[in-house]
Amino acid sequence: MKKRFFMCVAIATLMVFLAAPALAEGDNYLSNKVGVGYQGMIAGSLINGISVRGWIGDNFGLEGSFSYGGIGVEIDGHDLADADLTLFEAKAMYAFIVKSNSRFYVGAKAGYGMIDVDFFEENMLDDDLWTLGAFVGSEWSWSEIPELGFNFDVGYNYIMFDTDIPDGGPEIELDLDGIAATFGIHYYF
């Protein structure tokens, strides 16, 4: 768990340093700035992640996020099941309404993830998944603390997962789709 946390921090730091030189001053306070913070996805339960978001001028935005979630089930001191999900996502955004402390945007996203499931300490699943989606959202900040941006997105997600169960198990092909919502808080530099 600590290793994954430090990997999140390293990825976010690298993304800030790579994106920051391309940015300059704009009309909206958050324009041409890079923010680092929290991005969560409501998918039945909450998937938490670290995110780097930046706006190039007033209208174009990019975001990269890294999410990790794990669950363990133990009965009478014996491991029954463990599952881990790691997800990397990239978003491109276009804001068509821009005010001094807010913007309304549309966007598209793509992602890559890894899922690992152990049942009775034997690996049952260890494979990749891909996501695609489109969304609409808004980001705003208060004039008293303009460097703190809050965002909310809602849109359509499509998840593709294809795997084989080890030891002659069945092939699983899973396509999930539906409406998903994300929200975040970023501190802009």
Instruction: State whether residue 189 is helix, strand or coil.
Output: coil
One-letter amino acid identity for 90?
A
pTM summary value: 0.77
| Stretch among 43-47, 57-61, 89-93, 132-136 having the lowest mean pLDDT | 43-47
**Number of domains comprising the chain:** 1
Beta bridge partners of 60: 56, 94
Full residue range of the structural domain in which residue 61 is found: 2-188
Q: What is the mean pLDDT of residues 31-38?
A: 90
pLDDT of residue 21 exceeding 50, the answer is no
> Do the Cβ atoms of 147 and 174 come closer than 8 Å?
no
Q: Which CATH number is 177's domain given?
A: 2.40.160.20
